A and B are shown apart, each in its own frame.
With several copies, the nearest count.
Chain A
């Protein structure tokens, strides 16, 4: 099996889907000749031509709105935000236009668009190149949200997202682009939207997480081996959540820690914690705990960024605290 990076996995998924279905296309700033600011779409314009790989003006709202128009006609546009932070500039087209399209048309219309772009911190990107905006969209019905943590999932989820008939926000983590490399199958595979994955099995504490912090959580679980038996659930899809797996794991361990790189307050971990605390009240042997980024903006200077972000040590500490409970 070939070794591919997280970034190459996204590229492969887009290429395979474009080869399979001529209605799949890509729009965004510098996605063409340049191959994207991070080279995620390298080689695509050469293979699929400039009608399908569209270098747009700097117009995020247009990119998303046009994507909706294309989707209504049966196209399957992938819409890149050069950094996911710029999604704020196309916010209305997502939450009002795309998310309500099917609903306001009483089911007549589908909106198969994928909005993707590099998010996440840890590379000194500062306030506007480090954001994790998933919570802005988590309360919006009609959307699906995915956030792969591995190259395998990056590929399989992208393929599923493209084939999905509803708008999917695909949050890729720029820290993982070239840092994650793994063997993935030669044959075609999909990762279904809505299914979480167990990254480590355990019996004492469940850590529920997604994106870059999956790796820190798995690291923490490994470090704690022998001391505390940690189960790590990688959500992969944030909307809809895989409540089956979440529930099963928390029932087994009786203790849940939710970790995400997004800010703690108002993060999607709050919803997960609230539901676990309500539905599994009788099964819990300790409070549901959460760890997220500190409640501030993504500061630039290294000591601040380290202070803000959750990491393996902070996760380890939180697991210990919960296990002791």
Chain B
């Protein structure tokens, strides 16, 4: 990798962290409504996965995947407006954050129903295969979401048709408060891939190199027509499930252990070993990221609130009138 690319990746991770930190702070200040979820600690997963994609590939982020939006090309200003529920958000205020995708950048907006995006991703991948398009669909989901029937139906179908879809499970060891031993009786959820006739990969989600390596294998496989890959990335969320969750169900020790494997620090350590001028890079990157974030906040705050009657827009291609 070139130094430039390495610094670029670093920038993305820092941007994601700064963006989320700012969102959490805004939430604490009471400036945001609705639930706010943080992926702090998981930045290498979304950045590593999405950096491997092309503009015409599709991603399906879930609630902890702010990074997927940013890296895949969503305008940070509009993303922040989305979180504020303003008119310039992707949903135009109709919902917040992940429920509005940015279709121009191949980012699909999810419902709240966990794993319900996986069938949609499989459907898109079917189109790519059917029309011989060299494109991929990447669906993110938590290890908790893997228990839903939709995950099964989607993976099975993807296996049958060897679809160019990558299932990325961010295993952060908790689904809200529920630890893995109450979620499934296996060590690695990716072991399930064998039952669908494709490859499962288990890797560190905190080590950006590792993430990029497994993604490289997975995208190669998919682009060669060899079908899906189930990538399981072991990682950890530092915050509670949402900003309101004190996360009493886990120990301080566990948290610190994972913080000691922080994805950004690991990357800094690597850059340091490469003898780059780390302090300068850090300062410059942080400044650049903070500027993006502050601009985004300013943009979002200036974006108008939607008016009440706009709630009736965008229900149908052509309004159906009094018929409903």
Contacts and interface: CB of A to CB of B under 8 A. Distances in A.
A adjacent to B, CB under 8 Å: yes
Contacts of B124: 69-70, 72-73
Interface residues of B, number: 78
Interface string A51-77: 110111111111011111110110101
B14 to A, nearest CB: 29
A243 interface: yes
Contact of B95 (A65, A126, A239, A306): A126
B309 A307 contact: yes
A226 interface: no
B33 A102 contact: no
Contacts of B218: none
B314 to A, nearest CB: 4
A303 B305 contact: yes
Interface centre among B102, B160, B178, B314 (most CB of A within 10 A): B314
A106 B82 CA distance: 10
A72 B85 contact: no
Listed residue (A59, A106, A166, A299) with the most chain B CB atoms within 10 angstroms of its CB: A106
A128 B99 contact: yes
Interface in B176-208: 176-178, 182-184
A174 B150 CA distance: 27
Interface in B277-309: 305-309
Interface stretch (B42-50, B141-149, B225-233, B254-262): B141-149
B122 A66 contact: yes
Nearest to A263: B324
B119 A69 contact: yes
B33 A302 contact: yes
Contacts of B90: 105-106, 108
Given A166-B317, A296-B311, A59 B113 contact: no
A127 interface: yes
Interface in A268-325: 294-297, 299-308
A304 B177 contact: no
A69 B120 CA distance: 4
A240 B322 CA distance: 8
Nearest to A62: B153
A95 B238 CA distance: 34
B99 A61 contact: no
B308 to A, nearest CB: 3
Contacts of A141: 315, 324
Interface in A226-265: 237, 239-243, 265
Interface size class of A (residues with CB under 8 A): 35 or more
A75 B150 contact: no
B324 A58 contact: no
B109 interface: yes
Interface stretch (A5-13, A28-36, A180-188, A209-217): A28-36
A70 B112 contact: no
B89 A106 contact: yes
A40 to B, nearest CB: 14
A306 B93 CA distance: 13
A89 interface: yes
A299 B148 contact: no
A127 B95 contact: yes
Interface string B307-321: 111111111111011
Contacts of A29: 175-176, 178
Contact of A66 (B119, B182, B313): B119
A127 B94 contact: yes
A102 B176 contact: no
A100 interface: yes
Interface stretch (A80-88, A152-160, A198-206): A80-88
What are the 7 A-B residue pairs with the smallest beta carbon separation, nearest first? A240-B323, A65-B119, A307-B308, A69-B123, A66-B123, A128-B112, A301-B93
Given A66-B122, A93-B119, A304-B311, 13 more contacts: A29-B176, A55-B178, A58-B183, A65-B118, A68-B123, A104-B99, A106-B90, A144-B316, A165-B316, A300-B95, A300-B96, A304-B310, A307-B311
13 contacts: A55-B182, A61-B149, A61-B150, A70-B124, A89-B148, A97-B120, A104-B95, A108-B103, A141-B315, A239-B324, A300-B91, A300-B93, A301-B93
Interface of B: 33-35, 85-86, 89-96, 99-104, 108-109, 111-127, 130, 137, 144-145, 147-150, 153-154, 156-157, 160, 175-178, 182-184, 249, 305-318, 320-324
